[in-house]
Amino acid sequence: MEREPKPVVYSTKFKQDIIDVYKYGLETFGKIQAEKYQSDIYRLVCCLDFFYDMYPECRHLPTKSKMYRWIILDSHLIIYRINEAEIQILRILHSHRSIAKIKHSRSIRF
């Protein structure tokens, strides 16, 4: 049985995160690599409309429904949430940052 695709929506935090990742890539690796990495991110999240359960549950945000998932891309984690209506792309985090600290910080929310 085929399932219906769910729309993919981007949080405000994700939109800022991808700008920050691009700026860092531009300064560190140059324009071509920064654009390629940004393209890789969008390619992965755009495919989530059908394949949202392909990636593992985010072990730092466990739920019974396994609604929080993550994509590991090089040194970044892309956190997203699945609900009945849509796929919400929440954040892009550097893998060396502690998610536990981020969850408890008032300045950074999911």
Identify whether 3 is part of a domain: no
User: pTM for this structure?
Assistant: 0.81
Residue 14 lies in a domain: yes
For residue range 7-43, list pLDDT tens digits in order: 999 999 999 999 999 999 999 999 999 999 999 999 9
Domain extent, residue 72, equals 8-104
* Amino acid 2: pLDDT: 64
83 domain residue, yes or no: yes
Cβ atoms of 77 and 57 within 8 Å: the answer is: no
Who wins on pLDDT, 95 or 104?
95
Beta-sheet pairing, 8-10 with 87-94: parallel
Q: Quote the pLDDT of residue 60.
A: 80
5 secondary structure, DSSP code: P
pLDDT at 79 over 50: yes
Asked if residue 49 belongs to a domain, the reply is yes
Q: Is residue 109 part of a domain?
A: no
Q: What is the CATH number of the domain that holds 24?
A: 3.30.2310.20
